[in-house]
Amino acid sequence: MGNKEEMLFDFHTFVFERLIKDEEIELYIKTNGSNIIPFPLVFQRFGTVFHFNKRQSFLILKDMKELKMVEIIPFHGIKLII
């Protein structure tokens, strides 16, 4: 077995990687030419993929912001920091 750090599951990284690979988000970015993903789309994807409610989604986004994975654009949406 590997060391303990290799065995830990990083949930925030998993959610971030899933957002990056999400087909609907990729389509939105390509179609609209904007790196800002609107909150309704973010909440829809969180609800569909992870079964998060809106409150849980906000908490995850707040954590991801603190980890510098996303930038929150007030009243608009998020930018993925890649």
Domain boundaries, the chain: 34-82
Antiparallel, parallel or unpaired: β 77-80 and 36-38: antiparallel
Q: Which residue has the higher pLDDT, 72 or 82?
A: 72
What counts of helices (H) and strands (E) characterise the chain? 5, 3
> What is the rounded distance in angstroms from the CA atom of residue 51 to the CA atom of residue 33?
28
In tens, the pLDDT along 20-44 reads 999 999 999 999 988 999 999 999 9
Ranges of beta strands (E only) in the chain are 36-38, 70-73, 77-80
pTM beyond 0.85: the answer is: no
